[in-house]
Amino acid sequence: MTSLSRARVARRIAAGAAYGGGGIGLVGAATIGLVLAEVQLAKRHVGNGHSPHAPSADGLYGYAYADSSEPPLRLAMLGDSTAAGQGVHRSRQTPGALIASGLAAVAERPVELRNVALPGAQSDDLDRQVVLILADPSRVPDVCVIMIGANDVTHRMPATRSVRHLSSAVRRLRTAGAEVVVGTCPDLGTVEQVQQPLRWLARRASRQLAAAQTIGTVEQGGRTVSMGDLLGPEFEANPREMFGPDNYHPSAEGYATAAMAVLPTVCAALGLWPAEEERPDVSRREGFLPVARAAAEAASEPGTEVTAAMPTGPRGPWALLKRRRRRRLPATDPAPAGSP
């Protein structure tokens, strides 16, 4: 499928989500049913001798900066098992802890992390998670990171419904004053137990949803980072290193790879990235595109960021496509109870 074709499909899904349509699927019901069967077979290994729960990583990071004159930044994680960090054993190995530690180092101030992500969640659970995050109006997060989508594909949630829930969550968080960064649907074609040709179908479904998620997020004022093709080639090349013990969720190294891609966008959303790096770099094939075209490009490019850039024009809203450089992140545990 060409980039223009992917853009058209993504735009149809996003439009269906915005206007209440529900009949646009990712791929044919029969084929996605086969993908579902294969992935569910693969997931039988999940929890086989391993905890189905993710380690709690809530707390204060960067407490070495506790003497800063500025209050801690507030970071919230929402989404599914990927956002929660299922598959690793230590708090510091979860993506939330890694992003919080990296953000504290860049901002040189503490970061307070709250993670309400739920393993197994689909996009319709974001409504509940947003309520939890916004329950106290005096403690609205400075930035929220959402990772969601894989369970929507494997449970055959209509793409329009999936994007509708995500768009609503982004809108509510942005209205409350939080910046929002969405890690789009990961590449299910990297799961080893899914065989060809179903692996190709799983990859296609994942990319279609990721592109539609990008449009829905950007139109509500959020930013996205492509997760599927960021992790896909690395997971395929190094499955023993990048997958965890359950052969389904990422390993500590896999989560670190994802967190390294998300951190620059989180920092940019908070105005912490150097101004010169916010300008498009033509040598890195960055630039302004209609949002649907940018979404399709991002779904096929590792770690690509998409953010709103211009008002609506003849070809719809425009977006800035960025390919940011990843940064190695410090791995730390939250501050002990009672720390300042």
**What secondary structure does DSSP assign to 264-290, as a single string?**
HHHHHHTT-S-GGGGS--GGGT-EEEE
Given the residues 101, 125, 167, 249, the one annotated as active site: 249
Check: CB of residue 75 under 8 Å from CB of residue 109: no
pTM for this one? 0.84
Given the residues 125, 167, 246, 251, the one annotated as active site: 246
Which residue would you say has higher pLDDT here, 23 or 142? 142
3-state helix, strand, coil in the chain (%, to 5): 50, 15, 35
Given the residues 81, 91, 226, 251, the one annotated as active site: 81
User: Residue 121 above 50 pLDDT?
Assistant: yes
Mean local confidence (pLDDT), 116-145: 96
User: In this predicted model, what pLDDT tens digit does every residue of 28-57 receive, in sequence order?
Assistant: 544 555 555 555 555 544 434 344 578 899
Residue with token string 């939250």: 334
Catalytic residue at 89? Answer: no
Mean local confidence (pLDDT), 135-142: 95
Which residue would you say has higher pLDDT here, 63 or 181? 181
Check: CB of residue 61 under 8 Å from CB of residue 332: yes
Average pLDDT, the chain: 79
User: In this predicted model, what pLDDT tens digit does every residue of 263-299 receive, in sequence order?
Assistant: 999 999 999 987 767 788 888 888 888 888 888 888 8
Which residue would you say has higher pLDDT here, 106 or 156? 106
* pLDDT score of 276: 67
User: In this predicted model, what pLDDT tens digit does every residue of 294-320 receive, in sequence order?
Assistant: 888 888 777 889 999 866 555 567 899
Catalytic residue at 249? Answer: yes
